[in-house]
Structure 1
């Protein structure tokens, strides 16, 4: 029985050309990029070339690309780095400071920084936000529509003088919603222009969007953007955070212990993974639109096959179209427990998921689905299908046949 993998939002296989690019840096070119001898210089040259390539695709400057171990780490650097950077810029925001003026500290920055986000972010944003709340950081989660969209006007209405960061996921890893990132960025920029201050900043998690959507930072208008290698047929263990030149001085490192990555991320750079990441982003950029359309067609074929046989099935998130990631389906199965159904699918050779792989080890239902304002039980009766480049029409038809036998 052929195993059919339909969980590409969780991880993707390494492209053969990516693997080929990585191999020299696993043996003969194994040097540390921080070393001054020839082995180190070879590693540094590879690091520089990878950074230059990714910066070029993003329309960014060389020093605006900060390599991390994952998009999760990049998200942490964005949130924690901005909050800590704000503390440094404003001489702190603890309750023990600013006793003579409860609103402003000596540098003119408010003492109680505020973050605006949504309730459907990736777990690395949601969990980090919860941790920051324990440190007396105010986190505002704006409501979303039943399809998962945030309203840019709601963002504008929520901005205050002490808002330091707005973070909105570009394409949902769970329900596939594509957020109006450009519009939100414009709202934030316009507010900043009125106040004349460098805050608030705008961050987006583009891990799922990278291979399908526009990621030119000038076009999007973002200040920070998180990226992942393993979602685009690159190796695990590599990610990046784009930080605009104006924003760089406002970010403090989260991991210390060295001056790597322009002082923002200490640790010896993983050259093989970074080289692979760079090659992967080059490859997915070659035929991005055509591949998105191909996967969109296969995704619709899968949904039509299921929905025609079982009209009671429903989608979580937007209807298939331009506002949903082209490879994503998140299906509500009214009469089936999602965990039990996922096991049945697995035994039938179908790999799908409940939602984010980062929350699979926990037993709680998807907070993303619950945030849509639907019956909370719906979250425990839904499964995510996410397609990738190796998927064929024959596999989709095969998957439909197997699923219908199980329902």
Structure 2
């Protein structure tokens, strides 16, 4: 194994990460899945678990797995339905593949970009992933290729991984590639290409240097990885590109020694979150609270609980940005703003109730808070 052209650099401390693994690292020749590279990748994830860290895996490979099952292989240019059938056949095998390699229970999570663009579905996905991590499971996320035509055609799991990194408040996005990292030119075609070890800001020159796909199996190239890094950076998440075919690189990465490319985030996650909470437009109406709840929000940094809510005004829905109002003799005073976990109609029903009564009143529960403190900003 030839030495990496990249020198070793230390990664800053991190607690939660998203790891994206593409088809080129998992697919066997002729179809199916191979442990040739996956064994070392899983070893990295298991080492992270042993260190008390959390990892969400975004994994391609369902179509490759399906090829080993379907007797009659789709021809080149086959209808999308044929490729979607491969994805449907292979998805269960892909999850079983990861379960056999990882040291914790694996959970399948299938998403599309539409799921994450819709605010209510976004909140549901976030709550599910948070619960899985809390229960020490390993979410293995993939695009719902069986129904998402554009995503399957574009092979855009790199960008999906960046969205998931923002969704779960990850500290870092790891993208496993089949080359050592980012170069200033395509190293497969230009022997004088120089490694780019640190990227402080994405530039047009870097994007232009990114080539196409390096594999007949994977459909995403270095450019999609840089686009994903750019998206993650805007969300306050740094990105690491490394060679997932090298067991030594993965072993070093488990001890926070990177031989690859690190792409800095533009701003901290806290700053990005604060900016969004401050500037996102609020729905008409709001949540009216009592003085005790206002004091808890301002002085203790607490979440908003239903017991401190007087009523809800307007007709907003779960996932909407709303104002939190303290009603006084001279009118209403804005105390905070945040993302409501319940609709206005639901809040009017659970106002003044204890959190444990929510399910008995509504018949369901999205948790014991009306607005969680992570989704709330004082004004």
Q: Greater RCO between the two (CA within 8 Å, min separation 6)?
A: 1
Structure-1-length-normalised TM-score: 0.26
**Bigger CA radius of gyration:** 2
